[in-house]
Amino acid sequence: MNISRLKALLGATALTIIAAGAAQAGGFSRGTADTDILYEEGNFNLRTGVTIVSPTRKFTVNPQAALVGVDYADTYAIPSAAVKFKIFDDLSCAGTFTQSFGGDATWPIPSGTIGKLDEDFSVNEYGATCGYKVDLGKGRLWVLGGVFVESVKYDLVAVGGALDGTLRDTGIGWRAGVGYDIPEIALRGQLMYRSGFSVDASGSARLTPPIPGIPFPLTRDAVGTAELPQSVELKLQTGVAPGWLVYGNVKWTDWSVTEELILQIPGTALTSRNQYFWRDGWTVTAGVGHAFTDQISGTVFATWDRGVGTGWDLTAETYTIGSGVSMKDKLGGELRLGVAAIHMGEASETQYGPANRTVGADWGFAVSANYGVKW
């Protein structure tokens, strides 16, 4: 096999898996920490990039007739950054940043029982992960572990604009895993666990009349709660012929712990309660990569996510297809570009009687770009 071309393929496959996962994974899933940088050659490695996702979710059934045909899903960006330091030959550590969870929606008129106009939820993850390797057979066995801090942000504009709420929280989690690789044939396998955590956020809400019982503008304390899931992911890839590589991954996410996202304003009758009661999520990706030259390689892939909805909200099964390219320059850097198309299935609420809503099947898109260097 052409060893240099197989190694070039490692970058292209990593890029497109990132783009695919961010675009379509169930629940609030967005980015994944770029811990793959630990496997890469070099004493110092740096990579940064962004994935932009443009979903489409249009109401086909809504008790508010003016919202039928409205696309409420916002376009969003997922940043990613990773820097790796080789501590000594067998130990490397990496600092990572990404947006691990999120959800954004905007309505042109007040929507639902609390009259929502804008709702934004995001969780930024700042992590540190180390990998220790030992020679085993023809390859290397890796033991991986680290911690991360998650910064939670939730903003809500509701009651026709009369309620403006903001919540913040910080949580700590950990990840651990094992891996095995044989770089000469681009073989790599990894099993990684990531912990979940409980959100217990606090903040404030500004209330402006007309709201029943609120005769004048005031600011009150606000609190919020939610559960975010643990996950386990298995990644596999190997060279299969000169310049060719196949890869796949399976991810389980414990979305069944996410039952509600609640914002409360003590001392008032105002409560925003998003009900989910999701089932566990499963996401499967498979793809093939090819090195055209020592500097240019590409890949195509397909992803299926079974969806986590159980009739309490409007999440659905998704299918994703996409491609990516990796280009190395003469300065030692590498540019990775990816694009994906996402088909999102029809979804209907079943728990709210005459207030049930439906969204039709729609297409969304994602583009991704990142650049890395090593020394």
Which has the minimum average pLDDT: 82-86, 121-125, 211-215, 274-278?
211-215
**Which pLDDT value is given to residue 200?**
96
pLDDT confidence of 219, banded at 50, 70, 90? Answer: confident
Contact residues for 167 (Cβ-Cβ < 8 A; gap 6+): 152, 153, 154, 155, 201, 202, 203, 222, 223, 224, 263
Residue span of the structural domain in which 124 resides: 3-374
What mean pLDDT value characterizes the chain? 91
**Which pLDDT value is given to residue 4?**
54
**Which pLDDT value is given to residue 179?**
98
The tally of domains found in the chain comes to: 1
Which H helix or E strand runs over 323? strand 318-328
Question: Do 125 and 100 meet the contact criterion of CB atoms below 8 Å apart?
Answer: yes
Angle at 209 between CA 208 and CA 214, to 5 degrees: 95
What distance in Å separates the CA atoms of residue 358 and residue 53, rounded to the nearest whole number?
Answer: 22
pLDDT confidence of 221, banded at 50, 70, 90? Answer: very high
In order, the DSSP letters of 280-347 are PEEEEEEEEEEESSSSEEEEEEEEEE-----SSS----EEEEEEEEEEE-TTSEEEEEEEEEEEE--E
Positive or negative torsion for Cα 204, 209, 212, 218: positive
Q: Residue 24: is its pLDDT beyond 60?
A: no
What would the mean pLDDT of 305-324 be, rounded to a whole number? 95
Query: By percentage, how much of the chain surpasses pLDDT 70?
Result: 91
Which has the minimum average pLDDT: 58-72, 133-147, 187-201, 216-230?
216-230
Taken as a whole, the chain contains a residue count of 375
Going from the C-alpha of 100 to that of each of 33, 121, 298, the distances in angstroms are 8, 11, 26
**Which pLDDT value is given to residue 370?**
94
**Which pLDDT value is given to residue 208?**
79
CB atoms within 10 A of CB 41: 9
pLDDT tens sequence across 325-361: 999 998 889 999 999 999 999 999 999 999 999 999 9
pLDDT confidence of 106, banded at 50, 70, 90? Answer: very high
**Which pLDDT value is given to residue 277?**
97
What would the mean pLDDT of 196-222 be, rounded to a whole number? 83
Q: Residue 297: is its pLDDT beyond 70?
A: yes
**Which pLDDT value is given to residue 224?**
95
Q: Residue 18: is its pLDDT beyond 90?
A: no
**Which pLDDT value is given to residue 13?**
54
Q: How many CA atoms lie within 13 A of 102 on its CB side?
A: 26
**Which pLDDT value is given to residue 112?**
85
CATH number of the domain within which 370 lies: 2.40.160.60
